[in-house]
Amino acid sequence: MLEYIKGDLIEIKEEYIIVDHNDIGYKIYTTSSSIVNFKEIHKKIIVYTQLIVREDDMSIFGFSTKDELKIFRLLTTVNGIGPKVALGILSSIPYKSLVGVIISEDLNTLIKAQGVGKKTGQRIILELKDKVDHDMAIFESNLLQVQMNKSDDTQEALDALIILGYTKAEANKAIDVVKDSSKSVEMMIKNALKILSR
């Protein structure tokens, strides 16, 4: 029903964004990766969406790329994987790396994702290995570990920003911008606060 929504990014929260289209505010659940790509409040964006309708709920899930939406849809075809669990997986492992994990049958990495136990991980690999786009995959395990495990300094700065009242999504976004140019935790926090206060 909804292929995409194009509008102004009004608000960013940890698990969702608000997009204004024709004076209607759409609450769209999304991943941390997509939130980073959307970047700036009050900018016009395109969100590729999936409308999920249930007896007692109607929710929109959206992504910054068609490919991430495609992987989300595939994940929700796996028995026991609902949209919220699929979102948690994609927030834990970027979708290109997730494709690499599935193709290489890397169960140990997959079960580190939010909401994935051993049996669920095995089902994901079994059911999706031949369905995912192999050309999309990233196999560099070192890159994946960098993405999944922030350095101690980065984590310390992130925790400090959250204590100061910023959401995890806001803090992550700011830290990602300043971490390479900041020589200490204190400098990282200071530079991140400059971005967040704009």
Integer angstrom CA distances of residue 89 from 26, 150, 152, 161: 23, 17, 23, 24
CATH architecture type of domain 4-63: Beta Barrel (2.40)
Under CATH, which number does the domain 151-196 receive?
1.10.8
Residues of the chain below pLDDT 50: 141-144, 146-149
- Give, in words, the CATH class of 67-146: mainly alpha
Q: Where are the domains of the chain?
A: 4-63, 67-146, 151-196
Tell me how far apart the alpha carbons of residues 17 and 11 are, in angstroms, rounded to a whole number: 6
Strand partners for 18: 11, 27
Specify the pairing of strand 16-21 against strand 57-63. Answer: unpaired
Q: What is the pTM of this model?
A: 0.71
Q: List pLDDT tens digits, range 70-89.
A: 999 999 999 989 999 999 99
